[in-house]
Structure 1
């Protein structure tokens, strides 16, 4: 098997899996449905097109920088043209929308070599614009990181840390522990269900189903670290950066 890696970084990201009505939340990591939607846009698929080719991909994500949770109290108006030709404005319902600010993630998709190489090519020259969950969240820089032989677990454990040089220098230690979440293999005892597996993106019949995931951590070298690692894993160490 082979993998294609994506760097998901930007001023804002929003990966909702259960947003309803006036409260638009975000998960703390990119959802599989969101990343597959990004890949589908890069490949030129429209919302009504079938997704079968992408649904067999295994997915994993690593939290290279968790970012900060941001709430936007959102107001909007819609223009309405009256019979006399004048335009009035109608206020839309107030909403609360949540984003991740300054977060960085490594996302990995595992599948046949031809498929993942085609995804990498599409991400480098996308057919439609790419967004990090919502249209208001464009990526900061290229998304494609390339392909490699191996599986999701190997890629998450070996791909270089994607945080900025400033963040890496601020961390100081020569290694960093990063949280991961990935598709669970059958029979994994600690797996948990999440409902973010897309069946259809068609606006008239959006469908999602459940997938099993497993959470963990990996230790990654810090190229800009100057202090030997203490050997103690502090999962809260990045939250203050």
Structure 2
């Protein structure tokens, strides 16, 4: 695992964007359509802005890329502005030129558990069908969740239905009219699914994320902090600003490594 600490969120976004641009270039050089795993929430917004600027400068092209979302709410009607499909169309497709028809999102429209499970299985097949994800963008929740894999999630889990914790629903209530409007369930890539991406890129900024970042990077590998599965991956990069890095004990080593010392 590599850890990069930047002065602020803007620099973190620029550093993370370089990782995605490099991954896309590597895929193109290998003769593959790039496949990018997309996260929602506040953490990757700066990254998506930087990618849009890179597209405008001709540094990267997403027109032939595929996008795969980490998760989707269960029960929101098609076209709901807070569905993750709509969020990603607005924040990614329209900004970086990723074709909406090449954006795949877990199916949260099932009317019962059986239909939702079948949709989750199809999502796994879609990922395999394009040859896997080249770079998976991740945020981390204050309770350590990645995707919507809440604490207690199996470290080998696949795409499936999950109940959202009360803390996660409260954190996401700012996007809805009230807490009662926040869905109680989601369909999310599992931790085992996430680990199959060729490269993982976790972006976190702000003091509120510092405890979760420290637990994920330096704590034990445990289902109590789902983000700790990054320690299992051979090519995981963590990009954080000073505030989010406040709880890291091995900061000197990370800075030396990033500087090539």
TM-score (norm 1): 0.30
Q: Flag the structure with more relative contact order, 1 or 2, with Cα contacts below 8 A and sequence separation at least 6.
A: 1
More helix per residue: 2
Flag the structure with higher strand content.
Answer: 1
